[in-house]
Structure 1
Amino acid sequence: MKILTLLAAVLLAPQVAIAQPVFDSHVHLWDGDKSIGEYEAQVKGAGLTITGFGGMWFGGPENQALAGNPASIRAHNDALLALAKRHPTMVPIATVHPYDAAAALDELQRVAGLGVKMLKIHPHTQRFDPADPRVLALVRRAGELGVVVVMDNANIVPGGDSEKLFNLALSAPKTKFVFAHLGGLNFRFWNILKMARTAEGLFGDNIYFDISATVTLAADAPIEEEFIWTLRNVGIDHVLIGSDYPQFSLKQTLDALDKLDITPAEKAKIRHENARALLGLKP
């Protein structure tokens, strides 16, 4: 009887949730150490544990990553690398401006030599055209150096940007890209990848996405089924989680992901496994 009572107590006891590993691929560090401290406090306060995060410096109220400032960009990249040394869970995401041409290529070469694995460039914030030949030269060189190129894809500019990003990635098949926000509310465009990958001589397996911001809008919304359909068409293996901190919190983002009607295995890939494979991170 005592054994049965003990067994029943175990079965009826509240189940303790097992923390799932998370890599947050999209964190803005506008104020250096202060931003990291606030971010980590927010994550801890939400009861979350992260295996790492991708931190970038440019953007925010005063964007200093515009063309014509290569010395300033270099200094900010150095500050970012110094932050990463002080915060081992941080993967530094450097930047350059494509219109700085040779100076941008030199800075890319330099930061890659210092161990940088990711480069973020932002057509809207940095005011450049993704179809410009200087952009193609830069991203091709990034691919040669093994650097993943992250580009904004929120489609907040007139005419959108998905088509240009798609053709840029096709023109640089040896470069891996992460298009942030999965096209925003124009995410449906990216279902073209399912067809593109069947065309002889046409690629698309070098295109990845983070679903920062967009997932918080799609979860529990009329567009959720189409959003999930898109995730599966672009390939769950090609999707990363990102918070877009400080605009959104990691908790908001993970809560939204949990609401999506996809399998636990698919969620695990998005939370951590895909970033680990793409960036060569430790398990």
Structure 2
Amino acid sequence: MRLLPLIVLSALLFAPLAHAQDKVFDSHVHLWNGETSLREYQQQLKSAGRSSGDGLAAMWFGGPNQALVGDPDRIRVGNDSVVALAKQHPELLPIATVHPYDGDAALTELARVAKLGVKVLKIHPHTQRFDPDDARVLTLVKRAGELNVIVLMDNANILPGDSEKLFNLALKASKTKFIFAHIGGLNFRFWNILALARTAEGLFGDNIYFDISATSVIVAGSPIADEFVWTLRNVGIDHLLLGSDFPQLTLPQTLAALDRLKLTDEEKAKIRYGNARRLFGLP
């Protein structure tokens, strides 16, 4: 849950010995230094007794790599770098970024990376310094939906009104699929509103997904763990993704936290891998 721009890595991995039969899709890993960071991620898995699986998805920006407004040429180079990395590593699924305030340049870049096979666009209101209420953001995310590109956005509630703004954005762009990272942080309670939204005919397009990175580690074993599980079920188990938030946290830590939550084995299996497979169209 870093305050710097994120690099997002989604990894298909065999689970630890406790779940030797299960695959895991890690939907939130920061690769600040490209291939070097990828090797570091793989090494921490090896040190924890895990072996690499057969799929990863990565975003280039984060840490020292800022994707700020007014520099679309640099953003394009960054997107090309992660697409090129995916060509070198066939197991990689690239994730791109743009800045919504770049207007037509952002829309052009979105269309370009979509043609290159990019399935997910990451934008970050806090680190990229934009307001989700801005009309340019709505234009961008609607276009992403038209191109069948999923929009991943930070939802750690670093900014005032974070969850409320994202909820209303998803309502306005009902044909676009969203992943809200960290499921609202410790303000996860807000998202119980989805249980009510689904009862309002014609209001909610059921287009919101969440990764539970970082928040699950903080909450597991805490006095509010049962309430967190209640929230996960209210938003819908089928709409949840596992994420480690590496290097701030590790995948073994995240899996241990998931195991501590009072979910059924079937629910945990969906969160570890099944939901990601369906959402991202994994083979």
Does residue 1:54 correspond to 2:67, yes or no? no
Q: Which amino acid in structure 1 is aligned with residue 210 of structure 2?
A: F
Q: Which amino acid in structure 2 is aligned with residue 226 of structure 1?
A: E
Give 3-state SS (helix, strand or coil) of 2:248's partner. Answer: coil
Partner of 2:11: none
Partner of 2:82: 80
Aligned equivalents of 2:40, 2:93: Cα separation in 1 = 17
Q: Once superposed, which parts of structure 1, at least 4 consecutive aligned residues long, lie more than 6 Å away?
A: none
| Unaligned runs of at least 5 residues, structure 2 | 1-16
Conservation of the 8 A alpha-carbon contact between 2:82 and 2:94 = yes
Partner of 1:104: 106
Partner of 2:14: none
Aligned equivalents of 1:271, 1:78: Cα separation in 2 = 29
Map of 1:175-190 to 2, 5 A cutoff?
175-190=176-191
Partner of 1:160: 161
Conservation of the 8 A alpha-carbon contact between 1:180 and 1:209 = yes
Partner of 1:273: 274
Conservation of the 8 A alpha-carbon contact between 1:242 and 1:250 = yes
Does residue 1:260 correspond to 2:261, yes or no? yes
Map of 1:9-48 to 2, 5 A cutoff?
18-48=20-50
Give 3-state SS (helix, strand or coil) of 1:27's partner. Answer: coil
Does residue 1:134 correspond to 2:132, yes or no? no
Does residue 1:125 correspond to 2:127, yes or no? yes
Aligned equivalents of 1:181, 1:204: Cα separation in 2 = 21
Deviation at 1:53, TM superposition (A): 3.1
Does residue 1:71 correspond to 2:73, yes or no? yes
| Change beyond 3 A, Cα 1:163–1:47 | same
| Change beyond 3 A, Cα 1:74–1:42 | same
Deviation at 1:58, TM superposition (A): 1.2
Partner of 2:7: none
Partner of 1:213: 214
| Deviation digits for residues 205-237 of structure 1 (CA, Å, limit 9, x no counterpart) | 100000000000010111100100000000000
Counting matched residue pairs gives 266
Conservation of the 8 A alpha-carbon contact between 1:70 and 1:100 = yes
The TM-score, its normalising length taken from structure 1, stands at 0.91
Identity %: 68
| Change beyond 3 A, Cα 1:251–1:128 | same
Q: Which amino acid in structure 2 is aligned with residue 30 of structure 1?
A: W
Deviation at 1:188, TM superposition (A): 0.2
| Unaligned runs of at least 5 residues, structure 1 | 1-14
| Deviation digits for residues 68-91 of structure 1 (CA, Å, limit 9, x no counterpart) | 010000000000111111222222
Aligned equivalents of 2:69, 2:18: Cα separation in 1 = 51
Aligned equivalents of 1:267, 1:275: Cα separation in 2 = 12
The TM-score, its normalising length taken from structure 2, stands at 0.91
Q: Which amino acid in structure 1 is aligned with residue 88 of structure 2?
A: R
Conservation of the 8 A alpha-carbon contact between 1:64 and 1:72 = no
| Deviation digits for residues 96-124 of structure 1 (CA, Å, limit 9, x no counterpart) | 00000000000000000000000000000
Conservation of the 8 A alpha-carbon contact between 2:145 and 2:176 = yes
Partner of 1:143: 145
Conservation of the 8 A alpha-carbon contact between 1:169 and 1:175 = yes
Give 3-state SS (helix, strand or coil) of 1:205's partner. Answer: coil
